[in-house]
Amino acid sequence: MTHVSPARKQSEKALYGGTSSRRVTVRDIAAAKERGEKWPMLTAYDAMTASVFDQAGIPVLLVGDSMGNCHLGYESTVPVTMDEMALLSAAVVRGTRRALVVGDLPFGSYQEGPVQALRNATRLVKEAGVGAVKLEGGERSAHQIELLVQSGIPVMAHIGLTPQSVNAYGGYPVQGRGEEAAQQLLRDAKAVQDAGAFAVVLELVPAELAAEVTRSLHIPTVGIGAGPDCDGQVLVWTDMAGMTDGRVPRFVKSYARLREGLGDAARAFAEDVVGGAYPAEEHSFH
């Protein structure tokens, strides 16, 4: 059962807090934009965590290539493969009943062109069962988006900071600063909308620019480090729940201290084992 506080309840149709138990579709996302409704999105990389978020009512779960840093121990998203993405996307789909699951196309799986993008996106839809895919790039990825959409695969675009280009950026700098960069971001947003994307992630862009993009598009924007005026907001779940080791970006708000709690639990278990307190009589069979 999804628990939503009465104060947060919006309408029966609301993406978050609504009463429908069927799986969320891209039409529901479009309708939310028309209603001017804000909605949350989280990443997920396994069935168990996905089921927690699904039961909490999160309407869209992204199997992000952030699994590279957050789940698979890589230094960036760049090494993530299609096999890894297909495996973990299938797990997230199995762990959910309501959320729209979006599978990320990893670096190298769509840059060659529309046909490569279609082959790999089709794999995520058929093998893993995702309801949509995400890929990075604005104008530069428009042809890929067009073919996927024409082929019946909903696409979430991703512009602003595109982490798969970390080697080209030399880090993770804020995007869209200055008139020329802002104009490029607006062109990118328009290009992905015209190509048929059903939503667009805006990562690490000034809040005022994200607000302008959100006003100028009829598809929803999903912000991450893009201020309060986007239609949706996404966070990497390990950042949101305080599971990340070390520093998190300034735009992150952590809503729990899971890393600390899990470490405490592991230490308590270890001390019980070493001291002989576990297993006790009630944990034993005779």
Q: Assess 65 for contact with ligand KIV (CB under 6 A).
A: yes
Cα distances (angstroms) measured from residue 69 to each of 45, 163, 226: 11, 11, 21
- The alpha carbon of 77 is separated from its chain's Cα centroid by a whole number of angstroms, namely 13
Stretch touching ligand KIV by CB under 6 A, among 3-11, 63-71, 110-118, 251-259 = 63-71
Stretch touching ligand KIV by CB under 6 A, among 62-70, 145-153, 179-187, 269-277 = 62-70
Nearer to ligand KIV, 252 or 258 (CB): 252
Nearer to ligand KIV, 18 or 148 (CB): 148
Question: Cα-Cα-Cα-Cα dihedral of 42, 48, 53, 57, to 10°?
Answer: 140
Q: Assess 159 for contact with ligand KIV (CB under 6 A).
A: no
Nearer to ligand KIV, 54 or 104 (CB): 104
Q: Assess 66 for contact with ligand KIV (CB under 6 A).
A: yes
- Least separation in angstroms between CB 84 and ligand KIV: 12
Stretch touching ligand KIV by CB under 6 A, among 57-65, 115-123, 192-200, 238-246 = 57-65
What SS3 class is residue 264? helix
Nearer to ligand KIV, 43 or 193 (CB): 43
Residues assigned a catalytic role? 203
- Least separation in angstroms between CB 62 and ligand KIV: 6
Among 28, 104, 212, 231, binds ligand KIV (CB under 6 A): 104
- Tokens standing for residue 235: 């966070």
Instruction: Return the CA Rg of the chain.
Output: 20
- Whether 224 contacts 210, CB under 8 Å: no
Nearer to ligand KIV, 62 or 125 (CB): 62
CA distance 134 to 111: 13
CA distance 59 to 40: 7
- Least separation in angstroms between CB 110 and ligand KIV: 14
Q: Assess 147 for contact with ligand KIV (CB under 6 A).
A: no
- Whether 29 contacts 216, CB under 8 Å: no
156: nearest Cα among 182, 189, 184, 129: 189
Q: Assess 201 for contact with ligand KIV (CB under 6 A).
A: yes
Taking CB under 6 A as the rule, which mask of x and - marks residues 214-253 in contact with ligand KIV?
Answer: ----------x---------x-x-----------------
Which residue has its beta carbon closest to ligand KIV?
A: 64
By CB under 6 A, how many residues form the interface with ligand KIV?
11
Half-sphere exposure of 71 (CA within 13 A, CB side): 21
Q: Where are the alpha helices (DSSP H) in the chain?
A: 26-35, 47-55, 67-70, 82-94, 114-123, 142-150, 166-169, 179-195, 207-216, 237-240, 258-275
Residues interacting with ligand KIV, by CB under 6 A?
A: 43, 62, 64-66, 104, 158, 201, 224, 234, 236
